[in-house]
Structure 1
Amino acid sequence: MFIKTIRTLEDMVVMVDMVDMVVKHLPFWTVFNSLDELKKRIQEIANADGFVIVTRRSKKIGGRTGRVWLECDRGGEHQSTATLRKAGSKKTGCPFYLLAVRNHPYETWEIKDGTIEHNHELCEDLSAHAFVRRFTPSEMKLIEQLTAQNMEPRKIFQTIRKQDPDRFHVQKDVQNVVAKIRAEQRQGLTPMQSLENVLMKNDFIYEIREEPGTEIVTEIFFLHRDSRVLWRAFPHVMMIDATYKTNIYNMPFIQIVGMTPTNKSFIIAHAVVSKERGDNFVWVLERVKAMLDECMEPRVILTDRDLALMGACGTYNRML
């Protein structure tokens, strides 16, 4: 493996003959008007060759940034602080680096030193590098706005890709940002505490069931007061369905829908249960029945062919 440090003009002449990348790209002789311009150009060159440049460190001269060391993002050694499990890393101690120096009299920037060599294979797909998948401030603002509108991360990702198809983002990057935004909105509360606050703030009626002997919530049932009024007025038809593995907790989500005489549907209630078992569904249906008080009971119950749910509906009919 050839590693050469550039320190003199003679070294540069030798490197031109031996390293094709220098011949094609790296502008050791180019003067840049600003550090940002230099970084942008170097990053373009690096990306074209299959690697990513990051800032390793900088040094101030006269109170201002005067030297900046740029390196391959695989440079350095991973320092893990994990105690429970060993964390992985893509760092390989890559020796590639460039030294950018500010020319004080002219306020320009140049590459003055560097090691043009890698100890790893260059990438054909730059999406494997987290650095190039970082969002710009405008993209972050867009994600925040769309998240506030309850848009799904998948659709947010598609929106960003349409605006700039050449970016290297993957859908998981958007999901991570959305998760961070929602965690900040919870202000340190657990997801269950946050949900309870939302239900109370928006005037929902809700009930929870805890695991015996613990304070672990296993089921939660909730409906809006306006839905309760509609349910008491039109209790004739009830449709119930459970969807599985559609949330990060892999808990069945139950939706209960009613029907008006004019063939318009309305939401009666929702519930999240821990398991898709008959007693869990029975608990939900008992809550639905309790909302009717002494009103007429439903005459038709529609559902799919989920056996546990069908069995719970049979139990519900016997309660009527």
Structure 2
Amino acid sequence: MTVVDGGSDLPVLMEVVIGDDVGEDIPTYQPVGNVQVSPNSGRRTFIPDVDDLVKPQMHMTFDSLENAFLFYQRYAKAGGFTARKGTQYEPRKGVILNKWFVCSKEGTKPLKAIDSTQEAGSSNVNSKSKITRRVPSIRTECEACIRVKLITPDNLYVVYYFEESHNHSFVAEDDRYLLPENRSMNYVQEEAVNALSAINVGPVRAFNIMRTLYGGFDKVGATKVDFKNFKRDLNRYIAEYDADMVIKRLRRKKEFMPNFSMEYLTTAEGVLRALFWADGDTKRNFNIFGDVVSFDATYRRNKYNMMFVPFTGVDNRYRNVTLGAAIIGDETAKTYSWLLNAFRQAFGRAPPVIVTDQDPAMRKAIQDTWPESRHRLCMWHIMEKLTTKVGANLCNSTDFKKRLCDIVWTDVLLPEQFENEWGVILADFDLLNHEWLQSMYQIRDT
């Protein structure tokens, strides 16, 4: 980089640098095709440089409009532009007498009107104006086309007009794989995107894998955008039938895996309401570590407005083990009763001890469905409510919470010692008549 003092010599230096150094490294763009310049108007036109075998000719005939369009598409691909279907004349339904096939840059595409107040960031929430992004049009009023008409009684379509001059340049041969008609995903690529998504490999990474395997961008036959659009459309399709797909998959597992269990419940309209499943590993875990089972529904619902319900046990090393799982649409006693019956049917028995939070629907379902199990409340859920129930000042400004945790989170105190310490703590902090603490104390033996 050269620093120049003064402004008079700077343009001269820039001219030398651009002309002598940079200009030699930047290749000039050469238009593709044969360029013709009008001597009167100076208007330039471009004619595709293609073999005569793929170029449309006057009075060519085709047995169908589809074949005529395919021929014009092959001609466009060889020339470096894109073709599309144009207008048609159809006096009677199903009988097309005249059809135009045009360059994709034929005509113009006007911009849609936009509410300028919303575009500027207006916060009027009652306005229903749709904000549309301004996208520049690629159309240049190109007049290149072929026109075919139906001749009877042969029922053939004949070319009666052909305009080969374009008012725009063409795509270079090295870039023609990017043209829309040259881009398409085959079945193997679609299956690869679907399979890779199951292991959290997105469509862009899937494209990069394909590019490496095929040996280049132009060998894939599609772009990253095509891969992303396919995954988007696949997700959109799955969103409509995902429940059916899950049920069918679990049914097949149940059919071919004797130790796999699944049950599901639907509403009268056929909407999935609850689903439970357990495999051989969870059943082995239950046989070994199923003395005490905990289950609870997730606090947040997913986009389907359903909750995940895991059944969990503890192994000999105090690690959590999964004993089954379910998704439910509501937390009613009826739904929980169905879920507990499905659990008993899958495992053959109810656990000796079941631990839940203080959900009344869970309590009623356990009483009705698993009366032989001892129902216990989760201490973590109870202690999480302590600050809210007795007040933040008492918990944060004194040693009340620490003293209470010392007698609650331990297994070395005898029942008599616990009761004595409980009474002392409540007396020291004037909580002997606290309604919530008394209710927790009274249900300790139930």
TM-score for the superposition, normalised by structure 1: 0.51
Query: Within 2, Cα distance between the matches of 1:15 and 1:262?
Result: 92
CA positional deviation for 1:254: 3.5
Counting helix residues as a fraction of each chain, which structure ranks higher? 2
Counterpart pick for 2:104 among 72, 80, 89:
72
State the alpha-carbon separation in 2 of the partners of residues 167 and 16 from structure 1. Answer: 42
Secondary structure of 2:225 counterpart: coil
| Conserved? CA contact 2:306–2:328, under 8 Å | yes
The code of the aligned residue for 1:56 comes to K
What is the correspondence of 1:9-88 to structure 2 with a 5 Å cutoff? 13=38, 17-18=42-43, 27-28=46-47, 30-31=49-50, 39=77, 42-43=80-81, 53-56=82-85, 69-72=101-104
Q: Deviations over 1:154-196 (max 9, x none)?
A: 7331313545697334745313246669999x9xx95476245
Query: How many Å separate the matches in 1 of 2:245 and 2:185?
Result: 28
Q: Report the secondary structure of 2:285's partner residue.
A: helix
Cα distance change on mapping 1:178 and 1:311 into 2, 3 Å? same
Contact 1:133 1:173 in 2 (8 A): no
Letter in 1 for 2:38: V
Is the alpha carbon distance of 1:41 and 1:180 closer, same or farther for their aligned partners in structure 2, counting shifts above 3 Å? farther
The offset of 1:210, in angstroms, is 3.8
Percent identical:
10
**Does the Cα contact within 8 Å between 1:238 and 1:259 map onto a contact in 2?**
no
CA distance, structure 2, for counterparts of residue 115 and residue 200 of structure 1:
63
Q: 1:275 to 1:240 in 2, by over 3 A?
A: closer
TM-score normalised according to structure 2 size: 0.39
Instruction: Determine which structure has greater relative contact order: mean sequence separation of CA pairs < 8 Å that are 6+ residues apart, divided by chain length.
Output: 1
2:207–2:227 CA contact under 8 A, matched in 1? no
- In the alignment, the residues of structure 2 paired with residue 70 and residue 296 of structure 1 have an alpha-carbon distance, to the nearest angstrom, of 74
Q: Which residue of 2 aligns with 1:297?
A: 352
> 8 Å contact 1:252–1:274 — kept in the other structure?
yes
Out of 205, 226, 229, the residue aligned to residue 284 of structure 2 is 229
Q: Which one of the candidate residues 264, 271, 278 is aligned to 1:208?
A: 264
The Cα of 1:39 is off from its aligned counterpart by 1.6
Aligned to 2:232: 175
1:151 matched to 2:198? yes
Which stretches in structure 2 are left out of the alignment for 5+ residues? 1-33, 55-73, 87-99, 109-134, 147-161, 169-178, 212-216, 218-222, 374-446
Question: Structure 1 residue 252 and structure 2 residue 307: aligned?
Answer: yes
State the Cα RMSD in Å.
5.2
Q: How do residues 101-116 of structure 1 correspond to structure 2 at under 5 angstroms?
A: 113-114=164-165, 116=167
Q: Of Structure 1 and Structure 2, which has the larger fraction of its residues in strand?
A: 1
Structure 1 unpaired stretches of 5+? 1-8, 44-52, 58-67, 77-89, 101-110, 118-129
Larger Cα-atom Rg: 2
1:160 equivalent to 2:206? Answer yes
3-state SS of the aligned residue for 2:276?
strand
Total equivalences in the alignment: 237
In 1, Cα distance between equivalents of 2:315 and 2:40: 81
The letter of the residue matching 1:142 is Q
Q: Which whole-Å deviations, capped at 9, do the CAs of 1:36-55 have from their partners, x for residues lacking one?
A: 69626624xxxxxxxxx344
Task: Name the CA distance, whole Å, in 1 between partners of 2:364 and 2:40.
Answer: 82
Instruction: Flag the 1:279–1:39 CA change in 2: closer, same or farther, 3 A.
Output: same
